A = this chain, B = another copy of it.
Amino acid sequence: MVIKMTLIKIPQKRFEERREKLMKVLKELNLKHFIVINPTSIYYLTGFSMIATERPFFLVLKDGSINFFVPELEKQHVLEEVPNTEQVRSYFEYPDIIHPMDHFSKFIKELKISGKLGAEGGGARGMWGYQGPTFKNALKIPVPIHSDIITNLRIIKDSDEVTCIRESARWGNLAHQLLQQYTAVGENEIDVSFRASHEASLKMRETLGPDYFPVGYGARPCGAGYRGQIGSYSAIPHATTRNTIFQKGDTLVTGASGNVAGYLSELERTMFMGEPNDKQKGYYAIMMKAQQAAFDTLGPDVPLFKVDEATRAVFKEAGVMNLVQHHTGHAIGLEGHERPFLDVGMNDIMKPGMVFTVEPGIYDRSIGGFRHSDTVIITEDGIDIITEDYPRDLESLIIDR
């Protein structure tokens, strides 16, 4: 049975709205046209998700109209997936005998743009062995760079984006439940993570129906795992998988998310293999207090730095500021981390529609890391912790197997 209670795709009108907003910002900058180079920005503005490679791929907004410059292998793909496309110009390949940027220069001339042209970056994104000239050098006109305007548009999420992020959290929750269920002394992190992610993804796919798919190259519907944060290695916040076997006494730090129209959430829990000792319990309690201080501070009209100050106050009072290695959190949406940050250096004001991870942590290399991460939506009158269905109390997070 297929139950559709949620949004699984961003409606076309949203992409139109976003492009209109962008054109208004461009107008204020005295720009009429814009070259978009970031794949996330292109998805945000058109709904087209690509496998980014060395081949230049640009969206050219000519007075607001959609024009694509793409490698031949993306031409048909774009034509089918982006309605209201004015033009798709393809070049055969990179590097080829004629460089794609020479074709692009011709294309821009043929577009006969009048008025100023800007760009999201200096040229094609240089990845996977790409070499090429800047826009300025290829087009032989000044092309002012405004790398932030689309990223900044993404800061306030509209109600459809929030719906997708909520739905992502539901499936992160399921994947995490299974992760906790399959974790046991003697089991291996890679296996447990694969099993939980596979089973939860299957359920998600069945529930959301045949029109659902995860957006992005290599994306899976949902998943959960440890990426090496097991035992004392959980004190390395950015550890990666070490093929670790769970042992009694381990402190664990997890991560889980779902992919709904490319939107993400973040759910992380500190867990224990067996009853934690007093030191583990002590760190856990401090971390919980810091996270609560963040929840109590988060809300509309509050400057972001206040949240980081609130968690630091807890850590300082507990005498563990030396165990802190990062700020309280970051925005999240189409990317795993987004601007703005819950950081002492951020004066921006929280507004409804912003979405943050709240994840103050402390790290003792001899014992482990202590960090929950919850995803929070700033609402008109407060906050909504969309991952709070997953228990945060210590008793619920002890694995006695």
Instruction: Using CB atoms and an 8 Å cutoff, list the residues of chain A in contact with chain B.
Output: 49-51, 53-54, 71-77, 93-99, 126, 128-129, 131, 147-148, 151, 188, 190-191, 194-195, 197-198, 201-202, 205, 210-221, 227-228, 235-243, 245, 325-327, 330-331, 335-341, 343-346, 365
- From B54, B71, B97, B126, A345 is in contact (CB under 8 Å) with B97
- From B227, B238, B345, A50 is in contact (CB under 8 Å) with B238
The verdict on A214 contacting B191 (CB below 8 Å), with A95-B343, A129-B340, A327-B93 known, is no
- From B77, B210, B241, B344, A245 is in contact (CB under 8 Å) with B210
User: Please, which residues of chain B bring their CB within 8 A of the CB of A190?
Assistant: 201-202, 205, 213, 220-221
Provide a sorted-by-A list of 18 A–B residue pairs whose CB atoms are within 8 angstroms: A54-B330, A71-B326, A73-B238, A73-B325, A75-B325, A76-B236, A95-B345, A96-B327, A97-B345, A131-B339, A190-B220, A191-B205, A194-B220, A198-B198, A205-B243, A217-B227, A217-B240, A219-B241
Q: How would you classify the secondary structure of chain A's contact residues: helix, strand, loop or mixed? A: loop
A197 to B, closest residue via Cβ: B194
Flag if B346 contacts A95 (CB, 8 Å): yes
Flag if B188 contacts A205 (CB, 8 Å): yes
Flag if A213 contacts B337 (CB, 8 Å): no
Within the oligomer, what is the number of copies of this chain? 2
A243 to B, closest residue via Cβ: B213
Flag if A73 contacts B240 (CB, 8 Å): no
Most chain B C-beta atoms within 10 Å of own C-beta, residue among A75, A220, A338, A340: A220
A195 to B, closest residue via Cβ: B198
Flag if B129 contacts A337 (CB, 8 Å): yes
Q: How far is the CB of A394 from chain B (nearest CB, A)?
A: 24
Most chain B C-beta atoms within 10 Å of own C-beta, residue among A210, A211, A238: A238
CA distance A98 to B344 in the complex (A): 10
- From B97, B129, B211, A338 is in contact (CB under 8 Å) with B129
The verdict on A72 contacting B325 (CB below 8 Å), with A194-B202, A238-B51, A241-B219 known, is yes
Flag if B239 contacts A326 (CB, 8 Å): no
User: Please, which residues of chain B bring their CB within 8 A of the CB of A212?
Assistant: 243
CA distance A344 to B215 in the complex (A): 33
Flag if B131 contacts A148 (CB, 8 Å): yes
CA distance A49 to B76 in the complex (A): 37
CA distance A201 to B198 in the complex (A): 13
Q: How far is the CB of A313 from chain B (nearest CB, A)?
A: 16
User: Please, which residues of chain B bring their CB within 8 A of the CB of A242?
Assistant: 213
- From B71, B73, B214, A241 is in contact (CB under 8 Å) with B214
